[in-house]
Chain A
Amino acid sequence: MRQISTQTIIDAVKDSAIKANFELGEDVVRAFEDALKYEESAAGKDILGQLIENARIAREERIPMCQDTGLAIVFVELGQEVSIVDGDFKAALEEGIRQGYREGFLRKSVCHPFTRKNTGDNTPIIVHLDLVPGEKLKIWVVPKGGGSENMSQLFMLSPSAGWPGVKDNVVRTVLEAGPNPCPPTIVGVGIGGNFEQSALLAKKALLRTLGTPNPDPELDEMEGKLLKEINKTGIGPQGLGGRVTSLAVHVLMMPCHIASLPLAVNIQCHASRHLEIVL
């Protein structure tokens, strides 16, 4: 059994929470640059240019790219040959987030659902844990903004709805969201599984590097078709009109119950933040 100390986990999660909020992924900046080539609207081009500038300022001046530094989601793939020592694993993840949000001057954005009282340290966090073979520990720190999360939707479609039903509901979700989720967005789509699994697939789909093809050719083709339909809506950067409403659509799919066709659409704003740690 390989041993990993909770202190190693706390430090890694802390550093990643800060880095994810200060440094927009190069893949996202590249996607802005590509979008500038095919955006026709003057306002849209202007906004894409300012988003590139915003990312530069955040990276150089060590401040968050967006004031909404997110609810902290942590995906974990824990190798079954790994033994976590020196304390509670989930508590270590949470402590890493707590320290990162404090030391990085990140906004604490978690509150009681009704009283709206802020918990003060951006906890609790949301953890998705997978046990996998091997002796590695992989952690993705994903600060997710509320504005785009609010525009996400889940549909329990009838199997007869098929691909046209999936397509219509994905496009409709983007259309109803309009300017609200800070377009240009990235659209995570989860098809199949069940109620909660489809949502998890949609969120996981957002972790893929922008500009990389879906490893499944069937899904890759679906992504291209969905992106084309979405960009016909004319919503454009910040909803002011334009060709680039979304930078990408990422799809994950798995089999489902013979009675069901679950579909989840998780909208990600352009401040797409996720960092992978391998311990």
Chain B
Amino acid sequence: MAEILGAFEQAVLLAVLRLDQDAYGRAILKEVQARLDRDVAAGAVHATLDRLERKGLLASRLGSGTPVRAGRARRYYRLQPAGVRALNDARAAVETMWHGLRWPLRGRA
């Protein structure tokens, strides 16, 4: 079985999937923040994007810049077949672990 993704890696990959053609650094950051409902450092998202690209789960290309970013190019990301497989594996692993348990759990405390 392929390496299981960490929760943050899954959040970033799912953000890229949801954003589709608009998946560039800042949009991914905002999507991850909205989904996780917490402040996330830009550096954490960029480091994760870089790692996922090196693993072959994402590919990137440079797009055009806009005046608000002083004309600096945007780097757009897209999911690779290995990324889709990794997300499927991650989801399957979680479902296997939860199989037979009723959710939400009822605590004894």
Q: Do chains A and B interact in one complex?
A: no
Q: Which residues of A approach B to under 8 Å, CB–CB?
A: none
Q: Which residues of B approach A to under 8 Å, CB–CB?
A: none
